[in-house]
Amino acid sequence: MENNSNHEVNVTPYYLMSSILKNISQVILLENTISGLIILVAITIANYQLGIVALLSSIVGTLVALLAGGDRSLIEKGLFGYNSVLTGLALYLFLADNMRMIIAILGAAFVVIFSAAMMHFMKNLNIPVITFPYIVLTWFLLLTSYHLEIFKLSSSLVPQDLTQWQLITKGNVNIIAGFADGIGQVYFLDKLLPSGLIILAIFWASRKLGIYAIIGTLVSWLVAYTFGAEHNILNLGLYGYNVVFAILAVGLVFEGDKPFALMSGIIAAAITVPLTAGMNTWLSIYGLPVLTMPFVLVTWIFIGARKVLPKL
Q: Are residues 19 and 85 in the same domain?
A: yes
- 3-state SS, residue 261: helix
How many other CB atoms sit within 10 Å of the CB of residue 246?
Answer: 33
Last residue of a domain, one of 112, 146, 180: 146
Q: Are residues 221 and 250 in the same domain?
A: yes
> Which pLDDT belongs to residue 193?
92
Reading the chain (312 residues) residue by residue, the pLDDT tens digits are 544 444 567 889 999 999 999 999 999 999 999 999 999 999 999 999 999 999 999 999 999 999 999 999 999 999 999 999 999 999 999 999 889 999 999 999 999 999 999 999 999 889 999 999 999 999 999 999 999 999 999 988 888 887 777 777 776 777 777 777 788 899 999 888 999 999 999 999 999 999 999 999 999 989 998 998 887 788 778 888 999 999 999 998 887 777 788 899 999 999 999 999 999 999 999 999 999 999 999 999 999 998 898 888
Q: pLDDT digits over 198-237, tens only? A: 999 999 999 999 999 999 999 998 999 899 888 778 877 8
Q: Are residues 103 and 202 in the same domain?
A: no
> Which pLDDT belongs to residue 36?
98
In whole angstroms, what is the distance from residue 177 CA to residue 212 CA? 18
> Which pLDDT belongs to residue 3?
46
Q: Are residues 135 and 256 in the same domain?
A: no
For position 240, which CATH number holds? 1.10.3430.10
Q: Specify the number of domains making up the chain.
A: 2
Q: Are residues 169 and 107 in the same domain?
A: no
> Which pLDDT belongs to residue 2?
47
| Phi and psi angles of residue 211, each rounded to the nearest 5 degrees, phi first | -65, -45
Q: What is the largest CA-CA distance in the chain?
A: 58
Last residue of a domain, one of 146, 171, 203: 146
**Residues paired with residue 95 on neighbouring β-strands, in sequence order:** 153
In whole angstroms, what is the distance from residue 292 CA to residue 16 CA? 27
Last residue of a domain, one of 146, 181, 198: 146
| Phi and psi angles of residue 153, each rounded to the nearest 5 degrees, phi first | -70, 145
Residue 38 lies in a domain: yes
How many other CB atoms sit within 10 Å of the CB of residue 250?
Answer: 34
How many other CB atoms sit within 10 Å of the CB of residue 99?
Answer: 14
Domain that residue 185 falls in: 162-305
Residue 246 lies in a domain: yes
- 3-state SS, residue 25: helix
In whole angstroms, what is the distance from residue 182 CA to residue 171 CA? 19
> Which pLDDT belongs to residue 5?
47
Note whether 275 and 298 are within 8 A (CB).
Answer: yes
> Which pLDDT belongs to residue 8?
61
Q: What is the DSSP letter of 309?
A: S
Q: pLDDT digits over 22-64, tens only? A: 999 999 999 999 999 999 999 999 999 999 999 999 999 999 9
Q: Are residues 182 and 243 in the same domain?
A: yes
Q: Are residues 39 and 97 in the same domain?
A: yes
Q: Are residues 120 and 197 in the same domain?
A: no
Q: Are residues 181 and 268 in the same domain?
A: yes
In whole angstroms, what is the distance from residue 163 CA to residue 71 CA? 50
**Chain Cα centroid distance, residue 265:** 17
> Which pLDDT belongs to residue 252?
86
> Which pLDDT belongs to residue 230?
85
How many other CB atoms sit within 10 Å of the CB of residue 117?
Answer: 12
Q: Are residues 173 and 107 in the same domain?
A: no
DSSP structure string for 151-215? --B-TT-----GGG------S---HHHHHHHHHHGGGT---HHHHHHHHHHHHHH-HHHHHHHHH
Q: Which of 180, 281, 193, 276 is nearest to 237 (CA)?
A: 180
In whole angstroms, what is the distance from residue 253 CA to residue 271 CA? 18
**Residues paired with residue 153 on neighbouring β-strands, in sequence order:** 95
Residues in contact with 299: Cβ distance below 8 Å, sequence separation at least 6, in sequence order: 128, 130, 245, 246, 249, 250, 254, 268
Angle formed at CA 310 by CA 120 and CA 122, multiple of 5 degrees: 10
How many other CB atoms sit within 10 Å of the CB of residue 165?
Answer: 10
Residues in contact with 192: Cβ distance below 8 Å, sequence separation at least 6, in sequence order: 176, 177, 180, 181
> Which pLDDT belongs to residue 4?
45
